[in-house]
Amino acid sequence: MISKATIKRIHALEMRKYRKNERLFVAEGPKLVNELYMSMKPVYVAALPEWIASNANLLNNTTYDTLTPEELQKASLLMHPQQVIALFQIPENELNPDLLKDELILMLDGVQDPGNLGTIARVADWFGIRHIICSPDTADIYNPKAVQATMGALARVKFYYTELAMVLSQYSGPIYGTFLDGNNIYKEELSRNGIIVMGNEGKGISQRTREMINRRLLIPNYPEGTLTTESLNVAIATSIVCAEFRRRSQ
């Protein structure tokens, strides 16, 4: 049985200020929760009896409640609840400039949609990119919608929120960005390491960040130069760019 206070606490974590105060985020569903268990231990779990019976070994020293379907419906942030809700501690990821030297890093400049952000985390995980640096105005990766969209990538991909200009000003390697007037990515030389900057869904990369980019890339449409949609969704564009970088590195 779950208390009304606990349900209220779960729902409060939809709001960024409560996540920030409590340093907690919500994850729901067997696949997502079990993926996160690989790298972090939840501080609280609420689940249906069948999930608890199948995952009893994961619940050692963890506070948990067994729910009825009706209680799960009340506690869940999803339209269609999925057996289990877990609260995890938000990690304190500290950005180490040394990790930038030999890694391929994603940098997000004002990405606003939590779904896009979570999908980008999933893309990064697929292509072995372990660090994503975000501007302060980028959506919160611990927003419940973003967390669900990561499909567990948060178990392996670290996020950092900081002023991008400060990081870029201290970086001497290649800094890539996608632009409609950039150079064809399929014809440009791409490095194994570097920073790839992806911009806001509507405005693209901010002017201040744009001035610090030294490798301008274009994802060409096909046939190149024909009339088409204005631009690609930022998560789709990130997938294409990451795939091409990794293809070249093989």
pLDDT of residue 228: 75
DSSP helix/strand/coil, 201: coil
Q: 197 and 213 in contact (C-beta within 8 Å)?
A: yes
Say yes or no: 156 and 217 in one domain. Answer: yes
pLDDT of residue 24: 97
- Per the DSSP assignment, residues forming a β-bridge with 216 are 177
Determine phi and psi for 194, rounding to 5 degrees: 140, 180
Say yes or no: 116 and 78 in one domain. Answer: no
Q: What is the pLDDT of residues 57-69, one digit of tens each?
A: 888 888 999 999 9
> How confident is the model over 86-107, as a mean pLDDT?
90
> How confident is the model over 122-146, as a mean pLDDT?
97
pLDDT of residue 18: 96
H-run or E-run covering 180: strand 175-184
For residues 49 and 34, give the distance between their C-alpha atoms in angstroms, rounded to a whole number: 16
214 lies in which domain range? Answer: 97-249
pLDDT of residue 116: 96
Say yes or no: 131 and 228 in one domain. Answer: yes
Q: pLDDT band at 243, cuts 50/70/90?
A: very high
Say yes or no: 241 and 139 in one domain. Answer: yes
pLDDT over 70 percentage in the chain = 100
For residue 63, the domain's CATH number is: 3.30.1330.30
